[in-house]
Amino acid sequence: MQKEQFGILLTTLRKKNGISQKEMAEWLSVSVSAVSKWEHGKNLPDMTMPGSIAEILQASCDELLNPEKTLERLANPEPQKGETEETDMKGYTFLNVE
């Protein structure tokens, strides 16, 4: 696993969940500096932490341990079954239902 990709994912999920670095550090009993180093790709968390980090960030351990795949999925989400999408074409609105 690349430290940089893990850091980007950690930052993305933390911000998505409205959690500060300070809050995350307190919940994990680590320093804010440690969280910052993880997010900047300088270090990785201890191998005993992925479960706790995943729980805090509402993610799975698999998502954390495969950051490239998870970041790609977050950047290109597949429409959920039953979602609708509107497309405007020359004054007409078409409703696509999958």
Residue 68 pLDDT > 90, yes or no? no
pLDDT at 97 over 80: no
Is the pLDDT score of 85 beyond 60?
A: no
One-letter amino acid for residue 46 of the chain: D
Decide if 2 contacts 9 (C-beta within 8 A).
no
**What is residue 90's predicted lDDT score, i.e. its pLDDT?**
59
pLDDT tens string 12-61: 999 999 999 999 999 999 999 999 999 999 999 998 999 999 999 999 99
Domains, the chain, with CATH or none = 3-94 (1.10.260.40)
The answer to pTM > 0.75 is no
Sign of the dihedral through C-alpha 52, 57, 58, 59: negative
Signed CA dihedral, 33, 40, 9, 5: sign only: negative
Residue 58 CA to its chain's centroid (Å)? 9
